[in-house]
Amino acid sequence: METHVVIMAGGVGSRLWPVSTPGRPKQFIDLLGIGKTLIQMTVERFMPVCNLTNFWVVTSKDYVGLVREQLPMIPEEQILAEPVPRNTAPCIAYACWKIAASHPDANIVVTPADALVINVERFAAVIRKALNFTQDSGKIVTVGIEPTRPETGYGYIQACEKNPGEVVKVLQFKEKPDLPTAESYLQAGNYFWNAGIFIWNCRTIISEFRKHAPSIASIMDRIAESFGTPEENETISGLFPTCEKISIDYAVMEKSDGIHVIAGDLGWSDLGSFSSIKEHIPMPDEDPVPDGGAAQALEGDNKVIGKDIRVFGCEGCLVHAEDADTVVVSGLKDYIVAVKGGKVLVCPMSEEQKIKEYGA
């Protein structure tokens, strides 16, 4: 049975302004200064479990050119353009109905385009085990991440037991918690970060949409009638925007009784903040920095990305300025300095949750 990988690549990454902008959001940027964009790293991560001919990307119509430029190996007809953003449920349904048209028995992995996974071999083993489980079981598996801290910025998955590396039943999905709740999740041991990675068989997910999100399923049935015809693009442009704007968690996951989780310590991060980028920029003696790479770690726990970054008397700072000629930063502690396209951000790390508003 064939495996297909669906990469969701439509987000705008507004928490990383001005480095990430609606014109070129974070999935199409080399955020870590290692010579690869996040979507390129995502494809690499799944190559051990899927042939390149079976990769699909769902993205905004505005980003199709960026996908083609960065992933020329993916067949053009497998780059699916959303006419408008409608959150993850319609995005995923579109891809799964499209795959079902030619591969009705396919096993499917759905993943965001913009996460980082450091333990890639362990990750591939987790995905293989999940694929073996979903092939004939009629169940859905989501990937859980063993939490390393009481994080309030992620959703959580409560499993019936803690059994790393094994597929176990999900009790419930939890919204982003406050700090005391996150601390209690960490102590309990059977709560995992929700990475937004799903594994299922094509028949299973279409059946679940019909059961729990019938309005989306009926729209996809109508769209599917146009697949392979001259009217396909026009039909998608007309019908896709009529889908409810809803996440896959709300539309299917929280309603289905067939959800399982496989969790592990995968070195995962959604790279959704400058502090997470700073944490994962490689040290000079670590591997993924290529010769001539732009990322550097400096004294005082400062990290910089750029051609000519000069840091004096600073501590705990991130300077991200890949397209600036020269940037000089002096006397700052725990600050973000980001420069891109003539726009400059100088912000304390402690206030980075406000960056989305600053760039609006």
Q: Residue for token digits 């399923």? A: 217
> What pLDDT does residue 11 have?
85
Beta bridge partners of 209: none
Determine phi and psi for 205, rounding to 5 degrees.
Answer: -70, -35
Start-to-end CA span in the chain (Å): 46
CB of 186 closer than 8 Å to CB of 150? yes
Q: Where are the domains of the chain?
A: 3-269, 287-358
Superfamily of domain 3-269: Spore Coat Polysaccharide Biosynthesis Protein SpsA; Chain A (3.90.550.10)
- Count the neighbouring beta carbons within 10 Å of the beta carbon of residue 16: 29
Provide the whole-model pTM: 0.93
CB of 219 closer than 8 Å to CB of 239? yes
Instruction: Return all residues near 243 (Cβ < 8 A) that are at least 6 apart.
Output: 86, 89, 90, 93, 215, 216, 219
CB of 86 closer than 8 Å to CB of 243? yes
**For residue 102, what are its two tokens?**
């030619």
Triad 280, 281, 283: Cα angle to 5°: 110
**What are the per-10-residue average pLDDT scores of the chain (360 residues)?**
94 90 94 94 96 96 96 96 96 98 96 94 95 90 94 92 91 92 94 96 96 97 96 96 95 92 92 92 56 61 93 96 93 97 95 86
